[in-house]
Amino acid sequence: MNEKYVETGRIVNTHGIRGDIKIEPWANSPESLLNYKVFFINGAEYPVKTCRTHGRFVIASLEGISDMDSAQQLKNAVISVRREDIPLDEGEYLIGDLVGLAAIDEATGSQIGEVAEILSPPGGDVCVIKGDREILIPLNDVFVKKVDTDFGRVYFHLIEGM
């Protein structure tokens, strides 16, 4: 699922009268959105003038959006960034990139299915594995033992009942 752009949040409202937007980030922390120079919204490119955190949200001022009415037009729109602009350390990956990878039982080395989707309930992210049957596996270090995006595999620790 290596697309050119990655969805990183949603505009939930305007902020003030100068056209600032309030963004709900889809990341580990709101700070992750602060270093981007460009946001992509509804297929258009918007250079970022300023960006700051506000609780669990981000407040951004974008070039071309200078009043509350133009900001209101963007409400509920999804914010994307270029994949190449996302800083990832060695061994890090984007959760969405797991979709489509082979799900491997680390104990046996056998394929149990494919990661079909990632759910994000309040308790934490969950991988939906589809194979002979559907398996839900928490996306954490207890169950996810290795992610090998180069070879298209995720190795899971399975427990009885999975």
Per-residue pLDDT, 27: 79
Return the residue matching tokens 């979709």: 99
Contacts of 49 (CB under 8 A, 6+ apart): 60, 61, 62, 63
CATH of the domain at 16: 2.40.30.60
Does 1 have pLDDT greater than 90?
no
3-state secondary structure 100-162: CCEEEECCCCCEEEEEEEEECCCCCCEEEEECCCEEEEECCCCCEEEEECCCCEEEECCCCCC
Which residue, of 30, 63, 85, is where some domain finishes? 85
Does residue 115 share a domain with residue 73? Answer: no
> Quick check: is 90 in a domain?
no
Return the residue matching tokens 């995720």: 154
Which domain, by its residues, includes 15? 5-85
Q: How confident is the model at residue 97 (pLDDT cuts 50, 70, 90)?
A: confident
Does residue 79 share a domain with residue 12? Answer: yes
Does residue 118 share a domain with residue 56? Answer: no
pTM of the model: 0.71
Per-residue pLDDT, 123: 84
The model's pLDDT over 11-52, given as tens digits with 9 standing for 90+, comes to 999 999 999 999 999 877 889 899 899 999 999 999 999 999
> Quick check: is 162 in a domain?
no
Considering its fold, how many domains does the chain have in total? Answer: 2
The model's pLDDT over 111-153, given as tens digits with 9 standing for 90+, comes to 999 999 998 888 888 999 999 999 999 999 999 999 998 899 9
Per-residue pLDDT, 60: 97
